[in-house]
Amino acid sequence: MPHVRQILTNTAALSVTGAAGQLANFFLVISFARAFGVTVLGYYSISMAVGAVAMLLVSLGTVALLTRELSVNPACAPERLGVLLPIQLILAVVAWVAACVLSIVLIGDTAAIAVVTAICGYQIALRLATLLLVPLNASQLMHVSAGGDFLHRVLSLLLALTAIWVGASAGIVALAPVAGAAGLMIFAWIQTSRRFGRPRLRFAPLEALSLFSRSFTFFGLTAMSVLYSRGAMLALSALAAPHAVGLYAVADRSLAAANLGPKMFNTAVYPALTRVTRKSPADAQALTTRCLRLVWVGAFPLAALIAIFARDIVELLFGTQYLGAEQALRVLVWTLPIGGAQALLSSQLAALEMEFSLARARFAALCTFALLAPGLILWLGFVGAAWAVLLGAVIQFALDWALLARARVAPAVKLSLFAPALVAALVTSAGMMLSGVPLVPRVIIVTLAMLTGMWVFRAVRLHDLRFLREMFSGKAVAPPN
């Protein structure tokens, strides 16, 4: 399997640049939170959530469709982008206005207008930049798009810190990400034009409509994913005060860097899975199984460590005024292994062109989440929102695996799951009992316990190490037992 080396290379590039970019974005959020307080952070978070939903009206699922098509035929990139961009610019204006109005209604405070207009604009502009980066990702030139994303986040951070330093208002500081997104759009246009040809812009509504029609299933899948990922924030916005939204946002944002690894890994795997599936679904099943083991071996120990040190993480990053977020963080952190695995299964289903079945499963999970979230929020507050997200992730994973099992291409789960999950549970339980121990000795004890447990329970097996080694060498890898 020569493609596995490309997966590793892309994952490394995406993880390094993506981690640095997310770190810059994380510092921006921390700086914003410390400068303006939990209520204004709530304004910021609500605008981000509503803007993420509104940006669906811009792309309408075309990003996933183009990724699949351009991974096979990158030469059609200028024509596809040239048809889509003029229409999506019009849709962007409509989506921005709608997002601003809905955010103000949810917040119920006109003092939030400046922050709302800027952050909603950022989300819309970012979606346009993402469309321009599709040819690069589809051709597995992900280091280029990852580099652009890193630069835009660093630019946003520098502008925000400068604005905070000179004493600018929250609305002015919120314009920093907008400037960063504009820079990313320029970068994406230049890089895509250099490698694939400049997009041939033309106003062709009927051709664009044809592409939107073909991407409708992807739109549904993307919409349900966004509604699920942002649903807790939206439900909190409707049922609780901005202060509670701000505390939940702290827990959610504290996982941004940790979520990056599984996300980037899945982004790198998807094009390879698409090509392998066209040749042999059995080989794609073996590849998914290997990748699933790697996701869980990394994500379960990381989730356990974050759960144990949740209070320390929140206090260190955001300050004592945000300590209430630690309980939500301890719940949300377990979405790392479940969500990472679920995203991998979704990629396999998309590669098999089972989008319709995937959409039905996603809709069922979303409906379950929509039923659970209000009651849990009213019962447990913003911690209830975290429980709703975790339960929704479990349901999505189970439904995706059932679809693959029905098609007889489901990856092996039991052997991959048992050891890392058991070690994570045991170490988490033991670590919680050491809360009175000073931080540095506690970190050493917990880390040693985690490494020992992973070795004793054989969470990492010989064929996993062989798979990683042969990823580096680019040689074929025998299917795992």
* Cβ–Cβ < 8 Å for 395, 361: no
User: What residues contact residue 313 under an 8 Å CB cut-off, 6+ apart?
Assistant: 254, 306, 326, 329
Domain presence at residue 111: yes
pLDDT at 47 over 60: yes
Q: Do 382 and 261 share a structural domain?
A: yes
Statement to judge: residues 373 and 432 lie in one domain: yes
Secondary-structure percent of the chain, ordered helix, strand, coil, rounded to 5? 85, 0, 15
Please check the confidence at residue 407 and state whether its pLDDT lies above 80: yes
Average pLDDT score, the chain: 84
Domain count, the chain: 2
- Ranges of beta strands (E only) in 198-313 are none
pLDDT, average across residues 251-276: 78
The reply to whether 65 and 80 lie within a common domain is yes
- Check pLDDT > 80 for residue 52: yes
The whole-angstrom separation of Cα 276 and Cα 136 is: 19
Give domain status of residue 47, yes or no: yes
Mean pLDDT computed over 273-281: 80
Length of the chain: 481
SS3 call for 354: coil
Instruction: Dump pLDDT digits (tens) for 349-376.
Output: 888 888 778 878 888 888 888 888 999 9
- Picking from 185, 214, 243, the residue at the C-terminal end of a domain is 214
Whether residue 208 is predicted with pLDDT greater than 90 in this model: the reply is no
Shared domain check, 157 and 19: yes
Please determine, for residue 414, whether its predicted confidence score (pLDDT) is greater than 80: no
One-letter amino acid for residue 305 of the chain: L
Tokens encoding 275: 């090509």
Residue 42: partners with Cβ closer than 8 Å, 6 or more residues away? 107, 241, 242, 243, 244, 245, 246, 249
**Same domain for 83 and 226?**
no
Indicate whether 2 pLDDT > 60: no
Q: For residue 337, which amino acid is it? A: P
Q: Which residue has the tokens 């991407």?
A: 215
| pLDDT score recorded for residue 55 | 87
436 domain-assigned: yes
Q: Which of these three, 187, 214, 241, is where a domain ends?
A: 214
Residue 213 backbone dihedrals phi, psi, to 5 degrees? -65, -40
If asked whether residues 309 and 412 sit together in one domain, one would say yes
Across 6-10, 355-359, 395-399, least confident range: 6-10
pLDDT > 70: percent of the chain:
90
Under the banding of pLDDT at 50, 70 and 90, the label for residue 210 is confident
Does 416 have pLDDT greater than 90? Answer: no
- The more confident residue out of 182 and 224 is 182
Instruction: Tell me the per-residue pLDDT of 461-475, one tens digit each, with 9 for 90 and over.
Output: 666 556 555 544 444
pLDDT of 476 over the 60 cut: no
Tokens (6 digits) for 330: 């301890």
Residue 148 lies in a domain: yes
Q: Classify residue 170: in a domain, yes or no.
A: yes
Hey, what amino acid is at 58?
Answer: V
Give the residue with greater pLDDT, 163 vs 321.
Answer: 163
Same domain (yes/no): 204, 233? no
For residue 480, is it within any domain? no
Residue 477 lies in a domain: no
* Per-residue pLDDT at 261 exceeds 90: no
Give yes or no: residues 439 and 451 share one domain: yes
d(CA 389, CA 372): 9
The two counts, helices (H) then strands (E), for the chain are: 21, 0
Domain with 258, as residue range(s), is 217-472
Burial class, 418, CB count within 10 angstroms (exposed 0-12 / middle 13-18 / buried 19+): middle
Domain boundary among 214, 237, 252: 214
Over residues 322-353, the pLDDT tens digits come to 988 999 999 999 999 999 999 899 888 888 88
Kindly state whether residue 479 falls inside one of the protein's structural domains: no
Q: Residue 473: its pLDDT value, please?
A: 46
CA distances from 69 to 54, 76, 107, 210, 274 (A): 25, 9, 41, 14, 10
Is there a single domain that holds both residue 237 and residue 347? Answer: yes
Are residue 189 and residue 229 in the same domain, yes or no? no
Regarding whether 91 and 60 lie in a shared domain, the answer is: yes
Q: Say if residue 205 is in the same domain as residue 341.
A: no
pLDDT at 150: 85
Is the pLDDT assigned to residue 386 strictly greater than 90? yes
What does the pLDDT read at residue 70? Answer: 78
**pTM, two decimal places:** 0.77
CB 427 within 8 A of CB 453: yes
**Burial environment of residue 28 by CB neighbours within 10 A (0 to 12, 13 to 18, 19 or more):** buried
Q: How confident is the model at residue 400, as a pLDDT?
A: 92
Give me the amino acid identity at 375: G
Cα separation of 241 and 108, whole Å? Answer: 10
